[in-house]
Amino acid sequence: MNHALICRAMFGLALAAVLLAACVQATPAPAPTVAPTTAPPVAPTPAPTVAPTAAKRDLGCEKLAANDGWAAQGDGTSGGAAAAADQVYTVRNRKELIAALNDGKYPPPSTTPSNAAKIVYVDGTIDANVDDNNKPLTCQDYARDGYTIQAYVTAFDPATWGRKAVTGTLETARVNSQRVQDERVRIRVGSNTTIVGLGQKATIRGAWFDVRGTATAALSNIIIRNITFQDASDCFPQWDPTDGAEGNWNSLYDAISLRYVDHVWVDHNTFEDRDTADSKAPTYFGRHFEMHDGTLDITNAADLVTVSWNRFQNHDKTMLIGSSDTGATATGDRGKLRVTLHHNLFDNTGQRTPRVRFGQVHIYNNYYKIVNNPTFGYSWGVGVESQIYAENNYFKTDDKVALAKIIGNYKGTAIHVAGTRVNDKDVDILAAHNAANDTKIAAKADWKPVLVVKVEPVESVISTVESGAGPINW
Ligand code: CA
Ligand code: CA
């Protein structure tokens, strides 16, 4: 074959790929400006596993609507909507999920997932704590070097160990055991990706979605929708005698961590702890054995995120925006961490809904249910240089929740709050906070959100969020 023929053949393949785009685009896709340098090994691409039809809504192809929060900035967020047909996957177990995020390869060739446009449909329940044959793995299966919780608490009992940081054989055994679990439950996600649950019952259990670029190469353009995330749980919490006055157990995994990534849309999911609910956990050294970290933590210069129509349930530290007051991450965070939260339900959450450092965070039309929750700490954490702009949020509380506790002050100086309703009364929760505390927070913001579709009146928030948040049936 001469050179011209090879080029023509390659152009034909490129054209075929465009014609076989998984999602019907509103406007014709432009011809590729750069021809692929290598032809794919197998010419015909398989038909998409879920064929979009004109009549049926296809969540996998949907993009974030214009103006819908910070993730709509610039070119907006389309996730994998531009996927070629051979980058559309339906996954039913951990192995298939990881393969889908790595161009179909398992085990993945590296810890860097694919940035090719792709749509991953999640069908049924996927458990991350399984081996490659989908056999369930327990915490005991991960334990290495003689680690047991009994041996660990014996070694580090403050009565004998004291209050210095833990170190030595059993701490090393814990770290090694944790690493074994990490290899199973950590799911790395690349750019240009949509992960979406099929129907209303798609569930991912025990996984940590680690969405992480680097300081010099951020990821971008990711959509996670319509999935119930359960029990991102660490079998090997670390005892930190120096954390707080009495020490604390700390864990590694969030359901989703966003770091060094921009343009992310997290929508219509449920996040909850069931099998590993805090209420079922033991206490060691008088402290709750905390097997969870955050639910959706947004740190390390993550930026332009819209979090909409999710249910956050039965979790303590729910959403950390910005991880540190000082140091290298703080320098990188300044000017980033722009997040919109709207129409989310926060039900029986303990704290950090969200806790904010640095970022311009728009919080509107969310519904907070804080009833019969003895461990409630606060809802909005006003941290260092945080710029929260809160409008028309509804709080349902019982008499154990003081109005002054809805806002927590973590070295912040200002917040804009308007239209807050608590138990059918319009309440100035900032005035309540300031009346109860010596250190005052100013009622102001140096910015005004412009990426907004519509802020609805606070009186309809309960019904809108109760009926609309969480996975939808499609
Ligand atoms: Ca802690
Ligand atoms: Ca975290």
Radius of gyration of the chain from Cα atoms? 23
Paired tokens of 404: 């002054």
Cα–Cα distance list, 16 to 1, 11, 12, 62, 154 (Å) = 20, 9, 6, 22, 64
Write down the pLDDT at residue 46: 53
How many angstroms is it from 125 CA to the middle of ligand 1? 30
User: To which residue do tokens 């240009």 refer?
Assistant: 192
Tens-digit pLDDT profile for residues 239-278: 999 999 999 999 999 999 999 999 999 999 999 999 999 9
Write down the pLDDT at residue 51: 52
Paired tokens of 71: 């993730």
Write down the pLDDT at residue 84: 98
How many angstroms is it from 23 CA to the middle of ligand 2? 34
Which residues sit with Cβ closer than 5 angstroms to ligand 1, an ion? 248, 250
How many angstroms is it from 367 CA to the middle of ligand 1? 26
| Ligand with an atom nearest the CA of residue 254 | 2
| Ligand with an atom nearest the CA of residue 294 | 2
Parts of the chain with a pLDDT under 70? 1-19, 25-55
Write down the pLDDT at residue 85: 97
φ, ψ of residue 470 in degrees (nearest 5):
95, 175
Write down the pLDDT at residue 235: 98
| Ligand with an atom nearest the CA of residue 244 | 1
Nearest to 175 by CA among 239, 112, 129: 239
How many angstroms is it from 210 CA to the middle of ligand 2? 10
How many angstroms is it from 239 CA to the middle of ligand 1? 9
Paired tokens of 283: 């206490």
Write down the pLDDT at residue 416: 98
Write down the pLDDT at residue 374: 87
How many angstroms is it from 209 CA to the middle of ligand 2? 11
C-alpha 297/C-alpha 320 separation (Å) is: 5
Nearest to 172 by CA among 156, 187, 160: 156
Cα of first residue to Cα of last residue in the chain, in angstroms, is: 49
**Domains observed in the chain:** 1-45 (no CATH), 139-468 (2.160.20.10)
Active-site residue, 352 included: yes
User: Contact 95/132 with Cβ under 8 angstroms?
Assistant: yes
How many angstroms is it from 250 CA to the middle of ligand 1? 5
How many angstroms is it from 473 CA to the middle of ligand 2? 30
C-alpha 474/C-alpha 471 separation (Å) is: 9
- Tell me which of 352, 355, 357, 421 is the catalytic residue: 352
C-alpha 388/C-alpha 380 separation (Å) is: 9
| Ligand with an atom nearest the CA of residue 247 | 1
How many angstroms is it from 448 CA to the middle of ligand 1? 33
Write down the pLDDT at residue 7: 45
Contacts of 182 (CB under 8 A, 6+ apart): 208, 252
pTM of the predicted structure, to 2 decimals: 0.90
| Ligand with an atom nearest the CA of residue 288 | 1
Write down the pLDDT at residue 47: 53
Nearest to 174 by CA among 161, 155, 160, 187: 155
Diameter of the chain measured on Cα atoms: 82
Which residues sit with Cβ closer than 5 angstroms to ligand 2, an ion? 254, 293-294, 297
Write down the pLDDT at residue 162: 96
How many angstroms is it from 433 CA to the middle of ligand 2? 27
| Ligand with an atom nearest the CA of residue 293 | 2
Paired tokens of 200: 């209303």
